[in-house]
Amino acid sequence: KGLGFRAGPPGRRPSGLEAATRKLRDVAASAVVALPLLVGPFSAPVLAAPGLEEQLVKNRDTLEELSTIVDKFFLFRPKVKAFDDAKEATKSQLTGDVSVDYARINVLLRKLGDGYTRLVNKEEFMRLIRFDALGVGLLLGPDEVSKEFTVMGPPVPGSSAAQAGIHDGDLILSVDGLRLKGKTPFDLIELVSSNDAPELKVDVQRGDDRFSAVLARKFETIKNPLETAVDRDRRIGYLRLKEFNALARPKLKEALLDFHKQGVEHLVLDLRGNGGGAFQEAVGIAELLLEPGRSVVTVVDGEGHAANFRTAEDANSGAVVKATKGMDLVLWTNSRTASASEVLVGALRDNCRGAVQGTKSFGKGIIQGVYGLKDGGALVLTIARYQTPSGVSIQGRGIEPDLKTPIPRRPVPFAPVPLGKVDFS
């Protein structure tokens, strides 16, 4: 993500983290590239109606498939036993009715004690890919056996991938010349997010046939998450970021360069009410405001393996860093500033790039992976937690502002901020 997903300083990794980094990337290796119930016990055995027997087999396979993912990747390891102990009872209660069985499987998933983990149907899965980093309408994930990237579902209708005739189940061998076999979704996201080109070339395999396609990158279905304003008299540039979607980084980059041309000297980044979004976008935006080699966030999996993501040298982001280097930065937060927003706030404050003003943030310091399932649904699973560059976990705690002052909603107050009162120690 520009994102520069790297573990350790650019060019090398501390030896103690090398194996850990590979392990952590494995956590994401089967998650799709797109990336927070029910109640009541069920007791009596259920027999499937004749027309539902085939679907019952599929639903049981779905349970086994997601169970394997939970056992391998769920963050809170001690909770997995309760899930495993109840799995067979749930399996015996499945009926072959997809909606009923999904509900019962979600009841089982509640044994994990995690409010973010859930099984979603095909329709909700398609909504999740509004964070499509490729921008071509494809949902990709690596096959566990072949390690090749596979199209995990039908391309988005009307997308360039759909128009090119790419099908569910096709193998995507390479993107812009990068061979994908053995790569993780992080590797692919890093490639496409640092590439501002309007098109991507993909090499596709379907059975014994191979072909190439040039796909236009389009994000029309994604809303612009950024609002901007400039106070020319005070030379203040205001940025309100509403969510971290695939347009967040390019729109923010565009606005920052425009502010530079207008002579802006002070920045306000308003993250109030921003509940997060795509983790990689938060890392990518941090890269627009921090020098290369700076720590952005440390991600820790359920076995304690950690990977530190640092900003990478990149020509596209480097121009923005240079343009904004002399600009003061204030980050506005409130109780609904969460998740990816907190990743960005933690990165910028811990690197002394900006001060935080407002009220304490929400405190969501865990990360979900989205795993495409064979039946077209998906498992949203909590797979890791993150720490700010200073080593602080904000899960359940939030980030306290440097300046605890209420901020009016409207109009945008362009009042001077007393940065001299901020404690950066």
Residue whose structure tokens are 């072949």? 146
User: What is the phi-psi region of residue 311: left when phi exceeds 0, alpha when psi lies from -120 to 50, beta otherwise?
Assistant: beta
Would you state the structure tokens that stand for residue 347, as one six-digit string? 């990165």
One DSSP character per residue, 97-157 reads -HHHHHHHHHHHHGGG--TT-EEE-HHHHHHHGGG-SSSSS--EEE-TTT--EEE-SPPPT
Are 150 and 143 in contact by the 8 Å Cβ rule? The answer is yes
Which one from 160, 339, 341, 361 is the annotated catalytic residue? 339
Residue among 47, 84, 75, 45 at smallest CA distance from 304:
75
Residues 326/237, Cβ–Cβ less than 8 Å: no
Look up 122 and say whether it is catalytic: no
Q: 339 an active-site residue? A: yes
Determine if the peptide bond prior to 411 is cis (ω within 30°): yes
Is residue 298 within 8 Å of 16, Cβ to Cβ? no
CA torsion sign for 187, 383, 135, 251 is negative
CA distance 31 to 297: 20
95 φ/ψ angles, rounded to the nearest 5 degrees: -115, -20
Catalytic residue, candidates 364, 390, 404, 425: 364
CA distance 157 to 239: 33
Contacts of residue 323, Cβ cutoff 8 Å, sequence gap at least 6: 256, 257, 260
- With a CB cutoff of 8 Å and minimum separation 6, the contacts of 246 are 130, 131, 132, 133, 135, 219, 222, 278, 281
H-helix or E-strand containing 358?
Answer: strand 355-358
* Residues whose CB falls within 8 Å of the CB of residue 342, separated by 6 or more in sequence, listed in order: 276, 361, 362, 363, 364, 365, 394, 398, 399
User: Could you list the active site residues?
Assistant: 339, 364
